[in-house]
Each structure stands twice: as structure tokens, then as C-alpha cells.
Amino acid sequence: MTVTSPVAPAPISLRRNFWRGVGRVLRRKPSRMVGVAIVVLFVFMGIFGPLLYPNPLPRDDNALYASPSWAHPFGTDFEGTDVLALVVTGTRYVLLAGLATAVITVALGTAIGLLAGFHRGRWDTVLMRLTDLQLTIPGLPLLLVLSTVWKFTSPIEMGVVLGLLGWGGIARAVRSQSLSLRERGFIEAAKGLGLPTRHIVVRELLPSMAPYIAMNMLIAVTGAIYAQVGLFFLGVLPFDANNWGVMLNLSVFGGGALSSTAALPYLLAPLLAILLLTLGIVLVVDAMDEIFNPRLREE
């Protein structure tokens, strides 16, 4: 036991320790670094992708459904547009919508779950009935109906709708977590010391649930990506936006990718992008528990 550690635990040094710890956790497994690299790549494409290509994307009428080549690594589509360019420029919509969904599900789910679990009693009953109500809303049919009046041109709109349809699960999970945490000694001690409820919920309860919430958030992102791509694929939503789902739809229903090989790269490119992004997120999720638990972070 060394008693030579520096004193003065200023908040700044704590913060720095946290990020150093995060770095350590990520380096612990190569898979996590790969995950981070993939996610960073997609974020980069989402931010800068549209700037790399002219708008609208150039068409080449002489190369409809061209095979992969150096000029077009994933071939071209029915209009002769480069598939890679479509995938890259389509990233922004997908990511933004996914992120918006995740933020809304997590914010709503956590707030409602915490409130219900911590206060119990009447609050609990009301909020949980509300959650049940949310969970019983059939998402797809509702979206089908909504899409007849709403075009979802902005990814944020898309995200808000998906988010409002998806917070119930997290609310239930967070509630059961806080129900068990509130029986812990340190929560009782905080109450006994007269600490305000805001402090107890934000400073004591929330950090203990952080890994849980972070994991749910990342999983919500992947869920949202599947959902919106699915909607576009089904053709429920208009083809205004440049989107991976639209690509899938056109390759299958327009290009006949399932029966001929010509449109195959056009089908595979967005699929690959979805799989890669999901893989990246799943690899990062693996690190969440260790990042938010000081014991696992430092060992």
C-alpha cells in the first residue's frame, strides 16, 4: 500500500483520469479499437460525405448498372450514378435519424424510468401505465398511416417519430434498475443525510446506471437504423431523400437484384454499410461496462 499518491482531487484531474481510463479500456481489446475506427469512419462520412461529391451526383448514361471498376468500386445504379457516392452521401441521413432516435428514447426512457422507480407510489403507477400504452402502439402500421400525410424529409423528423415510438422498453428497464438501486446502502445514506432528491437521482443513481443507459443508447441507434432503412426499403416513405433504404428498394424492385447479377453490387453496398456500422457499434458496446465502472476502468 503506497501512501505517496498526490492529494488535491480537483475535478479537472478527475475528468482527465476518466478519459485516460476510457483510452485504457478501449486499448484492452483490439476488437474495441476496430469498433471505434468503424464508428469514427461513419461519423466522418456523415459529416463530410456530402461535401466530397457534387450535388446532385453526376450521372453517366453510358454506364447504367456498370460492374465494379476502379472508377466505380461498387458499380453504378440505374441512372449511372456511382454507388459508393450514394452510400457515402446517404450516411448523414441515416446517422442523424439514428442519433435523434437514440437521444429521444434514452432521454424519455431514462427520465420516466427514474421518476417511476425512485418515487414509486402514485407516480410509478401513472408513468408505468403510460409506458404500457406506448408499448402497445403498433409501430409499423402507425408509421404507414403517418407516411401518407408526412414526408419525413428531415432525418430529425424521422428520428423524433421513431424515438417517440421506442422509449417504453428503456423506461421499464431503467425503472427496474432504480428500484433495486434505491435499496442500496448509499442511496439510503444520502436520504438519511438529507441530501436533495435532485442530487440523489442525478449524482448517485444516474452514474450507477450509466453503462446500462449508454449500452441501450447504442443499441437504440442500431435499432433506429434498421427501422428507417426498413421503412425506405418497403417503399413506405417517398424517395426524396438519398438513403440506403431507397437504394435497397430500387435495387431489388427496380434492378431485379434478386434475379440478375447486374444490380447485385447496388444491393450489396448499402447492406454492407449497415452491417459494418452495426458491427462497429456492437464492438464499442462491449466496452461500456468497463468505461463507467471505476473499478473495471482502472484495473
Nearer to another protein, 132 or 298 (CB): 298
Measured from the CB of residue 32, what is the shortest distance to another protein in angstroms?
16
SS (H, E, C) the chain: CCCCCCCCCCHHHHHHHHHHHHHHHHHHCHHHHHHHHHHHHHHHHHHHHHHHCCCCCCCCCCCCCCCCCCCCCCCECCCCCEHHHHHHHHHHHHHHHHHHHHHHHHHHHHHHHHHHHHHCHHHHHHHHHHHHHHHHCCHHHHHHHHHHHCCCCCHHHHHHHHHHCCCHHHHHHHHHHHHHHCCCHHHHHHHHCCCCHHHHHHHHHHHHHHHHHHHHHHHHHHHHHHHHHHHHHHCCCCCCCCCHHHHHHHHHHHCCCCCCCCCHHHHHHHHHHHHHHHHHHHHHHHHHHHHHCHHHHHC
**Residues 66-105, mask of contacts with another protein (x by CB under 8 A):** ----------------------------------------
Q: Is 15 in the site for another protein (CB under 8 A)?
A: no
What phi and psi, each to the nearest 5 degrees, are found at residue 82? -65, 125
Length of the chain: 299
Asked if residue 83 lies in contact with residue 72, where contact means CB atoms within 8 angstroms, the answer is yes
Least distance from another protein to the Cβ atom of residue 188, Å: 6
**Any contact of residue 3 with another protein (CB under 8 A)?**
yes
**Contact at 8 Å (CB) between 167 and 105?**
yes
* Binding positions for another protein, 154-213, rule CB under 8 A: 184-186, 188-195, 199, 203-204, 207-208, 210
23 binds another protein (CB under 8 A): no
CB closer to another protein, 122 vs 295: 295
Smallest distance from another protein to CB 152, Å = 39
14 near another protein, judged by CB under 8 A: yes
Q: Is position 294 an interface residue for another protein (rule: CB under 8 A)?
A: yes
In the complex, what is the shortest distance from the CB of residue 19 to another protein, in angstroms, rounded to a whole number?
16
CB of 116 to another protein, least distance (A): 20
Nearer to another protein, 188 or 240 (CB): 188
Does the protein bind another protein through residue 12 (CB under 8 A)? Answer: no
Residue where the block lists cell 428500484: 179
Q: Which one, 19 or 70, has the nearer CB to another protein? A: 19
Kindly determine how many residues on this chain lie close enough to bind another protein according to the rule CB under 8 A.
31
Binding mask 235-274 for another protein (x = CB under 8 A): ----------------------------------------
Cell of 164: 417517440
Shortest distance in whole angstroms from residue 39 CB to another protein? 25
Residue 121 contacts another protein per CB under 8 A: no
Q: 276 with 291: CB under 8 angstroms?
A: no
In the complex with another protein, which residue's Cβ is closer, 18 or 78? 18
Interface residues with another protein (CB under 8 A)?
A: 1, 3, 5-9, 14, 184-186, 188-195, 199, 203-204, 207-208, 210, 292-295, 298-299
